[in-house]
Structure 1
Amino acid sequence: MIQLNTLLVDDEYSAIEGLRIRLEAFPEIKVIGSAASVDEAIKLLNDNDVDLIFLDIEMPTKSGFELIKYFQPENCPAVIFVTAFHQHAVKAFEVRALDYLLKPIKLARLSEAIDRVTKMEKIHRKNELIAVQQVLSDDLASEVAIPTHSEYQFEHENLIIQDAKNPILIIPFKDILWIDAAGDYMCVHTSLDTHIMRARLKELEKNTLPDDFLRIHKSTIVNLSYIKQLNPLRNSEYMAILENNKSLKVSRTYSKDLKRLFTL
């Protein structure tokens, strides 16, 4: 039987304990920890392999949706939102939540949600959550319109993106914090916005990005000038913290090259 490492995130202690007791009836669920805030959850995620998160939405300081922003496309556990408020349901499914449970949770609905998780292959779940980068990108006020076709080119110190429906975008390389893959699209993140273009990471690499850019993950390239800190994780991996406090996971495959650049 597959066991899912599960994290419970809720600012109410009674809610966490009540859910923990209910989950004891499901042998496929292994609760590895709980958190009362998004920041506490991120610390646990840095130190543990998590397959499933039961996530409250309305919490002090940061909502459950803020935790979704933390994930990279290939670093996404399954998410089941647990909340007392039904009005968040639409947004929850926009970010590809696996299920949406209303408090107080009925045992039948909990069983249905868990059954749904166990039937889905983990890699399939990660691919579905790629859309998170398009819906909840940092500093993005509304949903991003995905271009049906776009072209790009490198010109001097700029990345130029153009498609048939939108104005030509000229993005200075020095303004790009990181770039990540979202299926057949690329998300180009600056401090103020996220730009979407139809391309693959391999295509970008062929065009030779400036020396300040380094691949740190199968799906992520970062601008080295924006990294302010490297936090070690397990298995020789790291978490790169950018100047805007965005956290990007550095996989073991690419960690040596990055660490070498930051070692005196």
Structure 2
Amino acid sequence: MIQLKTLLVDDEYSAIEGLRIRLEAFAEIEVIGSAQSVDDAINVLNKHDVDLVFLDIEMPTKSGFELIKYFQPESCPAVIFVTAFHQHAVKAFEVRALDYLLKPVKLARLAEAIERVVKTEQLHRKNTLIEVHQSLIENEHQELESSKNSEYKFEAENLVIQDAKNPIQIIPFKDILWIDAAGDYMCVHTLAETHVMRARLKDLEKNTLPEDFLRIHKSTIVNLSHIKQLNPLRNSEYMAVLDNEKTLKVSRTYSKNLKSLIKQ
């Protein structure tokens, strides 16, 4: 049986405790912590792997939508919004929330939401196994095709993004803070803006980017020159803090290599 490590986020302690009591009826749920603000929630997420977040929206200082911005692609837990306000529903589903519950939460409605999360998690795990198998079979073919379909190239100091529908974009490597995967596209982040390009992270890492760029997660490459601090997490993982205060998770697979390069 799937068991979901769950975080409860609400500025009202009574709301957290009420939801915690209701969740005791579900064997699929393991509540690993709670938080009464977005910043507190981030602290918990830095210490624990979380599969599901029950998230309030209207909270002091930062709304629940600010927490969504914290998650990186491919490491985002399932999110169920729990709020007293119906007017945020459209935006909640725009950020791919799995469900939207109105307070006070009815047990039957809660059961529906949890069932949806469980089915999504089962599908995700099944698809992950399929994708791994397919990638082993198709890897050689993809590498040959990537050079034909490329919409980018590089010069000595710049990344050049070419797209028939848009003007050519020339981005100095020194201005790029990090790059992450978003489906079939890459998001290239600078201090000023984010550029989107069609490419594979593996190809960028191997053939395009200078030595200052290093993979720190299966979906993320960072410019080492923009890392100002490494904060340790559990299980030999780290949180990299960039010049602009953006934080990126460094997975255990890549942490040792990053640490050795930072020390140099």
Q: TM-score, normalised on structure 1? A: 0.87
Matched residue pairs, number? 242
**Residues 182-221 of structure 1: matches in 2 within 5 Å?**
182-221=182-221
Question: Does structure 1 residue 74 correspond to structure 2 residue 62?
Answer: no
Quick one: which amino acid aligns to residue 67 of structure 2? L
How far, CA to CA, are the matches of 2:244 and 2:65 in structure 1? 18
Offset of 1:2 from its aligned partner?
Answer: 2.0
Q: CA–CA distance in 2 between the matches of 1:66 and 1:261?
A: 32
CA RMSD of aligned residues (A): 1.7
CA distance in 2, matches of 1:5, 1:123: 17
1:4 pairs with 2:4 = yes
Per-residue deviation, 1:31: 0.9
- Could you tell me which residue of structure 2 aligns to residue 143 of structure 1? none
**Contact residue 176 and residue 190 of structure 1 kept, 8 A:** yes
Structure 2, gaps ≥5 residues long: 128-148
The structure that is helix-richer by fraction is 2
Kindly state the Cα deviation for residue 207 of structure 1 after the two structures are TM-superposed.
2.1
Which residue of structure 2 aligns with residue 116 of structure 1? 116
Whether contact under 8 Å (2:3, 2:30) holds in the other structure is yes
Alpha-carbon contact 2:153-2:208 (below 8 Å) kept: no
Runs of 4+ in 1 over 3 A off after TM superposition: none
Shift of 1:123: 7.2
User: In the alignment, what sits opposite 1:242?
Assistant: 242
For residues 34 and 60 of structure 1, the distance between their equivalents in structure 2, rounded to whole angstroms, comes to 16
1:38 equivalent in alignment to 2:38: yes
Alpha-carbon displacement from aligned partner over 1:111-167 (angstroms, at most 9, x marks no partner): 100111112226728x9xxxxxxxxxxxxxxxxxxxxx9711112211111212222
When normalised by structure 2's length, the TM-score is 0.87
Gaps of 5+ in 1: 128-148
- Are the structure 2 counterparts of residues 93 and 186 from structure 1 closer, same or farther at C-alpha, using a change threshold of 3 Å? same
Task: Compute the displacement of 1:18 (Å).
Answer: 1.2
Offset from partner CA, 1:173-215 (integer Å, 9 cap, x none): 1111100111210010111211111111012123231121111
- Residue 141 (structure 2) aligns with: none
CA distance in 2, matches of 1:84, 1:191: 36
